[in-house]
Structure 1
Amino acid sequence: MWGRSVPSAHRTGRWDTGGVASCFGSTVEQTASPGRKRGQPGACWDQTGANGTKRVADCRHESHTSHQTRLPQRSRTGPARETPAINHSGIKRSFTAWRASRRGKGLDIGRPPEHDLRSIMNAILYVDRTGIPWRYLPHDFAPWETVYGYFAAWQKEGVFDQLNGLLRRLVRETEGRHGEPSACVLDAQSVKTSSNVPAAGQGIDAGKKIAGRKRHIGVDTLGLLLAVWVTAASVSDNAGGMHLMSHIAATHPRVTKAWADTGYRTKAIEHGARLGIDVEVVQREPGTKGFKVIPRRWVVERTFGWFMHHRRLARDYETHPHRSEAMIHIAMIDLISRRLTRESTPNWRDT
């Protein structure tokens, strides 16, 4: 064992499991010495002589030290990161009170839930960030059927949209702004779809030569999501802009200004005027080639870049368009939560 010669007493089956017990922190029955009690450390084998029994070697100490010397030590690369101090007891008390208030509102009948809602939400965020299929959820989380069931139910109830709105208001107030925006930026992004997306929900963007779906979004001047509409890629920007402005005017009545690109033409401008929103088309300078930051429009382009940090949004994997909208809301919830808590995830740009 471990590249050494094994004593004859070991080969005959008289093993001392004291070393294994010490490594794993458990008590294992000893069989090497017939006179020892359970869990008592002793020699690997006994040698009987004229003066009685003499202990030859302590297997637990020897095997433990051999493990320490033979196993290589894992070295850390890069500077050590300081972990911020977290008041776990305070967080636990807050969650306990929240759970009690939630259960008090119901009939309090039936068996209690097996899985915590916090772990369910963490599993949904994990799928959105890593892009794995639901069935591939690690066993550390609840079963994937349970997680997906909560995701579908919360999407139907509009929980993700409401949570995104509450967090957006907190960010705006933290930045010293009014909780409700007064201006927005509109744009659309065409993405490819996976094979499970029905053909009826797809289209071809003739301008970008992409077969898939199109994400129409409206953001405030900080780049935070106000409205999203997922359609086939064949739907024009005009139709998407009109739908977005109708939704924004109904949910954010303070919005009176909107910036957009040249894809939003006369119909969208006229529709915005009827809603009391002044739509301004921001054009590129003549002769400009390649990427160039354009005033006002760069805010929404940055939001599309934020989406790409969530692998579930790199391609549209959702069967239904409203599930795609929910995934976009979840990505913004993750982003805003990190912004509020000053927490950032290391990536290749930090190296």
Structure 2
Amino acid sequence: MTERRAYPSDLKDDQWQLVEPLLLEWRAARAEGRVPTTDLREVVNAILYVARTGIAWRYLPHDLPPHTTVYGYFQAWEADGTAEEIHNTLREQLRRKKGRRILPTAAVIDAQSVKASPNAPDATQGYDGGKKVKGRKRHIATDTLGLLLVLIITTAGVQDTNGGKLVADELAATLPTVTKAWVDAGYKSKMIAHAAGLGISVEVVSRDAEQKGFVVQKVRWRVEQTFGIMSRYRRLHRDYEALPSRSRSMIHWAMVNSMSHRLTADPNKVGQYLHSRPPAAT
């Protein structure tokens, strides 16, 4: 069989070496004496092809595995937490590479409303009156490198303050080392008090009323950078997944791709993931 030509979204060899051990371990635990025939690297490449191009699963090119096979693995890796485990493992490796502690002590919290697919159940959608968007809302916390720590998907009608409480709960439960967080002015005192009760001191970073146009905000630019990385993946421009849990998984795979690029980047080459810190506002 002739080897197919690579797509731009394919994992390079050094990127695959970061992911392969975890997927081989996953496969070994489920083999039960069977000889597997599906190439797991090609399955991951197909998932990333969907993420980067935004196509529907059934429109996968014929030289990638069948869309039913790929979606079956995508579902399985979401359901048993494999995708999130791979994501968290790469995050720890990248923090170590950047000279940080594996467990972060600070976070940046924000939210983003996106339109949902017409196929999404109405019960999983809502209306964000401020952004005038009907769909879902992504509540996230990142570390100070912009790496994803918490991801919660709700209806777009959930206020940032209430979503922020959920994020704080998740931070306290999974990363109790986090004791400091930054938010924008959309998060009210109830969220700040709730986080304080969990041992997280929240600082509101407000925009100066005299500032005009785009201005980099202290620390908060990191979470905006993360949303910017997500925007490079067309599948994330909207929430096309039928279930919020699948939305989380697609975002995790997008961030796995991003982090694997950063982990294998040539330190002598300035690329899209190696930009220096933006200049502070004057």
1:259 and 2:186 matched: no
Given the superposition, is the C-alpha separation of residues 138 and 283 from structure 1 closer, same or farther in structure 2, using an over 3 Å criterion? same
Give 1:288 deviation, angstroms: 2.4
Separation in structure 1 between the aligned mates of residue 25 and residue 171 of structure 2, nearest angstrom: 36
Superposition RMSD on alpha carbons, in Å? 2.5
Once the 2 structures are TM-superposed, how far is the Cα of residue 95 of structure 1 from its aligned partner?
6.7
- Structure 1 outlier segments of 4+, above 6 Å: none
Partner residue in 2 for 1:131: 54
Partner of 1:169, secondary structure, is helix
Could you tell me which residue of structure 2 aligns to residue 24 of structure 1? Answer: none
Deviations 1:138-196, CA, capped at 9 Å, x for gaps: 11111111110110011011111111111011111101111111000000011112221
What are the within-5 Å matches in structure 2 for residues 135-150 of structure 1?
135-150=58-73
Q: Residue type matched to 2:42 in 1?
A: S
Secondary structure (helix, strand or coil) at the match of 1:215 reads: strand
Q: 1:107 aligns with which of 22, 32, 42?
A: 32
For the pair 1:315 / 2:238, whether they are aligned, the reply is: yes
- Residue 136 of structure 2: aligned partner: 213
Aligned to 1:341: 264
State the identity %: 51
From the superposition, tell whether residues 196 and 101 of structure 1 become closer, same or farther in structure 2 (CA, over 3 Å): closer
Query: Following the alignment from structure 1 to structure 2, what is the Cα–Cα distance between the partners of residues 341 and 126?
Result: 20
Structure 1 residues 269 and 305: CA distance shift in structure 2, 3 A: same
Output the amino acid matched with 2:136. R
Q: How does 1:322-333 map to 2 (within 5 A)?
A: 322-333=245-256
- Count of aligned pairs between the two proteins: 254
Equivalent residue for 1:189? 112
2:87 is aligned with 1:164: yes
What is the match of residue 203 of structure 1? Answer: 126
Matches within 5 A, 1:31-50: none
Equivalent of 2:225 in 282, 293, 302: 302
Rounded to whole Å, the distance in 2 between the matches of 1:158 and 1:104 is: 14
2:170 equivalent in structure 1: 247
**Which structure has more RCO (C-alpha within 8 Å, separation ≥ 6)?**
2
Alpha-carbon shift at residue 290 of structure 1 (Å): 2.5
Structure 2 length as normaliser, TM-score?
0.84
Find the partner of 1:122 among 29, 34, 45: 45
| Structure 1: 5+ residue stretches without partners | 1-84
Distance 1:255 1:282 in 2: 18
CA distance in 2, matches of 1:295, 1:310: 26
Say if 1:261 and 1:135 are closer, same or farther in 2 by CA, change over 3 A. Answer: same
Larger displacement relative to structure 2 (113-122 or 149-158) = 113-122
1:285 and 2:208 aligned: yes
How big is the shift at 1:120? Answer: 1.1
TM-score normalised over the length of structure 1: 0.68
Q: 2:62 is paired with a residue of what secondary structure? A: coil
**DSSP-derived class of the 1:217 partner:** strand
- Aligned pair in 2 of structure 1 residues 152, 292: CA closer, same or farther (>3 Å)? same
Instruction: Please state whether the residue corresponding to 1:316 is helix, strand or coil.
Output: coil
In the alignment, the residues of structure 1 paired with residue 13 and residue 126 of structure 2 have an alpha-carbon distance, to the nearest angstrom, of 48
Change (3 A) 1:238 1:95: closer
Corresponding position of 1:155 = 78
Q: 2:196 aligns with which of 273, 284, 295?
A: 273
Specify whether residues 203 and 228 from structure 1 end up closer, same or farther in structure 2 by C-alpha distance, changes over 3 A only.
Answer: same
1:236 and 2:159 are equivalent in the alignment? yes
Asked if residue 176 in structure 1 is aligned to residue 86 in structure 2, the reply is: no
Output one character per residue of 1:36-71: Cα deviation in whole Å (capped at 9) or x when no partner.
xxxxxxxxxxxxxxxxxxxxxxxxxxxxxxxxxxxx
* Greater radius of gyration (CA): 1
- Counting only pairs closer than 5 Å after superposition, residues 64-83 of structure 1 correspond to structure 2 as none
Return the alpha-carbon distance in structure 2 between the equivalents of residues 280 and 327 of structure 1: 30
TM superposition shift of 1:99: 5.1
